[in-house]
Structure 1
């Protein structure tokens, strides 16, 4: 009986990876265009934005919280960065300040959840709305362009290293960093403990509030970093940038097997979830499936993932 349970646990843990492999094989059989090297590189480049945001979201969800503000954090930090560049601030400094802004904006959500004792959904819904409004005010509802031809800015989103896109390399390096953070450090154990049982974690000497605020700060940092990649790729800061990105990030975390009630999940599962969404989007586009049907299909896939989590 124990052996059977172990096999079932392994099957559940590897379910997302198996689903990804079957999905890739299935679409490859139907569409030869999908299995080309250039398409895979394009798929990975496109998935890097959602991947970076989803890594930060994983930290928040593991603490039994959620962050709806990541898309707005992305938009506001990117707009401020573009504004600084246009007004003569050196590109490198402007990008660094944008990352700091992302951290601060994430901390605001964390403080509202911990010190303000607001539900994470409500707190981040508030910050999502406020940050989006501030973005519209700062940009006056118009794109900020004419950012110059700085090599530093261009390489972040458009550069390649030995034919591999820089965003893909960043995604892999940051994935390794998150794996070490969550699996090999005291802070990582504090995140899992906070999400599993906050009261017991507090009795064990873990600062619950500090852990959650840092998790939100990490989420804000990753959103701002994703914004810089988009800024580089687009060459301008759009006021609607990042709209809806929080939903894709949450979907990737759920597909990767992280429990939405916190305390259980792996960062490699989130990476697999990101790839599942990217493969679905890319494959359905190649097959010419209407965007309306794509939303339905993605919704059903997420439903299956959440029901599987509930069963576990």
Structure 2
């Protein structure tokens, strides 16, 4: 909340500026964006288009959940896009080349993703490597391993039931892949809001040393968060494979930037300790709606990058203003 020098909330006409706190500001931005696009395009405000947006944000949404946990403890993870590709390639190789059952291949792909997160977490928590450097190194290593699995070639055509996860719409709206994203959102939101483990993450992000003195196992929680974010990256890789009916080692390039952007736009502080998954959901929707709307308006992909970059800068500026 903005305050005067005396600490009182600033207001205009008796109305406090507290609406920019929490997730209210991003929500208002999302609603205004939807209203603008509804009047600017003929096809935006339709059930079919909203369903398409849900399909398009599934992978980003799952990555953003893991990134929210990481940023809440004051960290950063630049490896999520590469880990996504690695998990997908491991799954594809085992299912198509090694003849594993699809379920076992998926499980092992997630295990490999979790191991990548474990390495990053151990480097950060126990060897005191800065999170930026540790995850940058993992980003390079995981991308290289993803290419090594099949010497840089993509793998196509999985069992029909796997692809149908992203095709069949229950109730005419929700696919299994979208349902998995929504379930992950709900479970993780409940964990952060109602459990002591969730409160511990906020405490670590606020002040790790104070959290340690309060009895919180900071190192253990830190490793756990990076493992969790990596496993979610693996889940995103599996769902991307289901949607495309293929996996390739170049999948997920720059996805980490989109995930960070969604979290920041949703109001989570890059310094850690404040934020919510509700805000992250809104941030993911803002990016999804913005890209969808720009496509409908015929804006070039290059200009879309400029617009999204401006939105990210605006979100960070608003966060700085709120702190001031």
Task: State the 4+ residue runs in structure 1 displaced beyond 6 angstroms.
Answer: none
1:242-261 CA-partner distances (Å, limit 9, x unpaired): 11100000000000000000
* Matching of residue 158 in structure 1 with residue 172 in structure 2: no
- Between the aligned partners of 1:156 and 1:229, the Cα distance in structure 2 is 8
Cα shift readout 1:216-258 (whole Å, capped 9, x = no counterpart): 1111111111111111111111110111100000000000000
Residue pairs, 1:1-312, within 5 angstroms: 2=8, 4=10, 7-13=16-22, 14-86=24-96, 87-149=98-160, 151=161, 153-163=162-172, 164-312=174-322
Deviation at 1:4, TM superposition (A): 5.0
Distance in 1, matches of 2:297 and 2:175, equals 25
Q: TM-score, normalised by structure 1?
A: 0.96
Q: Which piece of structure 1 moves more, 155-164 or 128-137?
A: 155-164
RMSD over equivalenced CA pairs, Å: 1.4
**Which shifted more, 47-56 or 169-178?**
169-178
* 1:2, distance to aligned residue in structure 2 (A): 4.9
Q: Give yes or no for contact 1:183–1:189 (8 Å, CA) kept in 2.
A: yes
Work out the CA distance in 1 between the residues paired with 2:106 and 2:166: 13
Q: CA deviation at 1:101?
A: 1.9
8 Å CA contact retained: 1:257, 1:270: yes
Work out whether residues 102 and 224 of structure 1, in 8 Å CA contact, stay in contact via their aligned partners in 2. yes
Structure 2: gaps spanning 5 or more residues:
1-6
Measured after TM superposition, the shift of residue 310 of structure 1 is 1.4
Gaps of 5+ in 1: none
Whole-angstrom CA distance in 1 between matches of 2:277 and 2:159: 37
Higher helix share: 1
